[in-house]
Amino acid sequence: MYSVVKYCWFLFIIVAQDVKSKELVLVAGLAKPPYVIPEQDTGFEVDLMRDVLATLGHDISMLYVPYGRTYETMKQMRADIGLTQLEKSGVESELLSQPYVSYQNVAVSLLDNAIKLEKMSELQTLTVVAFQNAQKVLGSAFAKATEISPLYIELPEQHKQVELLLTGKVDVVVMDINIFKYFATSITGANQVEKIRVHSLFPPTHYRAAIREPALREAFNRAFSSYIMTADYDKLLAKYDMTYVNHRP
Structure confidence by residue, pLDDT tens digits, 116-125: 999 999 999 9
Rounded mean pLDDT, 2-27: 53
The tens digit of pLDDT for each residue in 22-78 reads 799 999 998 899 999 999 999 999 999 999 999 999 999 999 999 789 999 999 999
Domains recognised in the chain with CATH numbers: 2-102+205-239 (3.40.190.10), 105-199 (3.40.190.10)
Q: Residue 178: phi, psi to the nearest 5?
A: -75, -30
CA–CA distance, 202 with 217 (Å, rounded to integer): 30
Strand partners, 181: none
- At residue 14, the pLDDT reads 40
Can you list the pairs that 233-240 forms with residues at least 24 positions away whose Cβ atoms lie under 8 Å? 233/48, 233/51, 236/44, 236/47, 236/48, 236/51, 239/44, 239/47, 240/34, 240/43, 240/44, 240/47, 240/178, 240/182
pTM score above 0.75: yes
Rounded mean pLDDT, 84-100: 92
Torsion of CA 115, 120, 126, 127, to 10 degrees: 120
